[in-house]
Amino acid sequence: MDRKERLKQVVKDEAETLSKAADRIDYDVLSQITELFCSVKKNGKKVIVAGCGTAGQAGKRIAHTLSVVEIPAFFLSPADSIHGGMGAMQQGDILVLISKSGNTQEILNYLPAAKKKGLTVIGVTENEESKLGKAADIVLKIKIDREPDEWGIVSSASTLCFISAFDAIAFTAMEETGYTKEEFYLIHTGGGVGEILKKEL
């Protein structure tokens, strides 16, 4: 296979994986998470997201998108968490832990404090029987057939699926909470989006 064909194949493989995920995901679980997220701001709580490596990058993106739609959220680094960072976790908060295997030790480190402090733990994993899967209050299972790299193990398509699921949650919550363009412009005056909002309002 020549280079251009390989490049095209990866793009198509990732698109196909997202399409399959749309048919496989448990929408009752997505709806449950959406309902929780809709209550975060009015209850004075927050969403805390964590993941390692590529899952961590997805977690940062998820936390940012939630904040953009006025669901208070931030990413808590696994490295910082065990050096006092978990002090930000308070009763009633929601903790989203992302681990493809569900057995990543750095992610499991959050569980004792989360349980003791009374957080709701959402585990995002492909393995419901993993340590994270068994410990979480809510499990969002996202499992794909194969990653598109040569060995089928580099987290990529699966990461897109994690992000897509939480985009769906964020944008549905945005509509259900009645989030307005005026509110959006208050926090997003910069860049092209800010310019568009300024002209429309």
Q: Per-residue DSSP letters for 145-173?
A: S--SSSSS-SSSHHHHHHHHHHHHHHHHH
What pLDDT shows up at residue 50?
98
- Across the range 19-44, mean pLDDT stands at 96
- Count the residues in the chain: 201
Model confidence over 92-115: pLDDT tens digits?
999 999 999 999 999 999 999 999
Give the global pTM. 0.95
Tokens of 127: 């393995």
pLDDT of residue 1 exceeding 90:
no
C-beta separation of 71 from 173 below 8 A: yes
Closest CA to 132 of 170, 167, 152, 106: 106
Q: Which residues pair with 40 in a beta bridge?
A: none
CA pair distance 196, 201, nearest whole angstrom:
9
pLDDT at 144: 94
3-200 is a CATH 3.40.50.10490 domain:
yes
- Measured CA angle at 38 (ends 111, 160), to 5 deg: 65
Q: What average pLDDT does the structure give for the chain?
A: 96
Four-residue CA torsion sign, 22, 169, 158, 3: positive
Q: Are 162 and 98 in contact (CB under 8 A)?
A: yes
